[in-house]
Amino acid sequence: MDLIHKIKNTIIRENLIEKHDKILIGLSGGADSVFLLNILIQLQRDLDFEIYTCHINHSYRDTALRDENFSRKISEENNIQFFSKKVDMKQYSIDNSISLEDSGRILRYKYFNEILKSEDFNKIAVAHHLDDQVETFFLHLFRGSGIDGLCGIKYQNKNIIRPLLDVSKVEILNYLDENDIDYVTDETNFVADVQRNKIRLEMLPYIQDNFNSSISESIYRTVNILKDSKEIIDDVTNFKYKKLVNQENGEYFIDVNLFAREKKSVKRNIIRKLLIELNGSNQDIRMVYIDDIIELFDLKNGSQYVFKDYSFFKSYDKVVIRKNLNNKKNQSVKFELGEISFGDFKINSYLTENTNVKPSRNKMIFDSKILSNNLFLRKRKNGDRIKLKGFTKKVKSVFIDNKIAQIKRDNYPILSDEENVYAILSLKRSNLYMKNDNSKEVLVIEVTYEK
């Protein structure tokens, strides 16, 4: 089977390219991306798709302008629309405290997606190949990654496609040499100054010389076996996830007792899937985070674990997960008639002479004389107490009695003045300023949950 046919089979098998696709090729000018451009040009008519190219000048090497000009030249020679942008990869890495490699990747894909949006293209083609897959396998292995990481680079990840993952670097270079196709060389690829280069230049040659001359092919087979196994694991995880993880009003709930019955491997995969959903990707999700969250299920009521912008709370027979509130938002606002937004609540208050209005948890009724006080809405404070019929009670105890998760308590609006708590809106009102037979006008406070 020739190389073009091999790549075409990969494209069809993985459904990477469909009729009328508009594909933006990431073109560095190096051997891999030039090879990808050449192959897709040859397959273009057969598979019926459009090609465009894009080059990012990272402003990092002395040869950066040479690479940009070369990429422009070969695009124009093939009548392909060319896009380019100059970015400061080094400064971006400093500003964001990330590696140069991460900086370059973020900036590249940011610009690629900007072009897709502005030009109405739908896919990005990049030139990762089999050797990149092997290097990624070892990088993830050394970091202690789970099966997701060891499965390596995906053929397709959302709008990014990788048609060359079944092709080795040797095959690429041989093809370019045999067909007398020019490309530029990134000299930094031959300096063992980053982990990936050390694996490529030092570790893999050592393994090939001393242990397995076909290590790349062996890892390639292992990755494919792992991918098959992952499909089964994903099916089980998805089934269990739907059974155990409930979502309502932007919050997630997991039943503690049902979760406890599962095997540890199932627990880990459920929590991992949840973290990916919260995080938007599997980046920065480590096994230690997953195990810490699993441990939370066995801790006392009120225990908490924070993952990025989310908090996990043990609340009686459930673990509740919700996005952290902005503590600076709506700490205290003056109470006025009309509509007020406070956290996740919308509060509508008005006066009426109809003193027969029926109260409910979400509709509280007060004698209008309460408005003579300097009222405001705020979050709870330590030591808050509310006056009930014949006694006072800690606001904290009201939340506990109503089984309100600790993570939710700061979200409830407290109606108060400098001395008294008049209500925990949507939960409990005090015994002060109750409507009575002498009331000529009443204050109605209606509360709705906005999320």
Is 32 labelled as part of a ligand binding site?
yes
- Torsion (CA) 144, 148, 151, 157 in degrees, nearest 10: -130
From the number of C-beta atoms within 10 Å of its C-beta (0-12, 13-18, 19+), residue 1 rates as exposed
Residue 426 CA: distances (Å) to CA of 1, 17, 312, 385: 70, 53, 23, 17
DSSP-assigned letters across all residues of 376-392:
EEE---TT-EEEETTEE
CA dist., res. 76 & res. 80, Å (int): 6
Residue 363: Cβ within 10 Å count = 14
84 is in an annotated binding site: no
Residues 6+ apart with CB under 8 A from 422: 366, 370, 375, 415, 416, 429, 430, 432, 433
> What is the C-alpha separation between 409 and 420, in angstroms, rounded?
18
At residue 7, the 3 state secondary structure works out as helix
Residue 28, annotated as binding a ligand: yes
Q: Give residue for tokens 């627990």.
A: 267
> Is 29 labelled a binding residue?
yes
Tell me how far apart the alpha carbons of residues 160 and 108 are, in angstroms, rounded to a whole number.
12
Token readout for 208 is 């090939």
Strand partners, 449: 345
Q: Which tokens in the block code for residue 86?
A: 């100059």
- Determine contact, residues 184/29, Cβ cutoff 8 Å: yes
Strand 22-26 relative to strand 50-57: parallel, antiparallel, unpaired? parallel
Residue 361 CA to residue 428 CA, distance in Å, equals 7
Using DSSP bridges, classify how beta strands 442-449 and 414-416 pair: parallel, antiparallel or unpaired.
unpaired
Q: How many whole angstroms separate alpha carbon 75 and alpha carbon 92?
A: 28
Q: Please report, in range form, the residues annotated as the binding site for ATP.
A: 28-33
Q: Please report, in range form, the residues annotated as the binding site.
A: 28-33
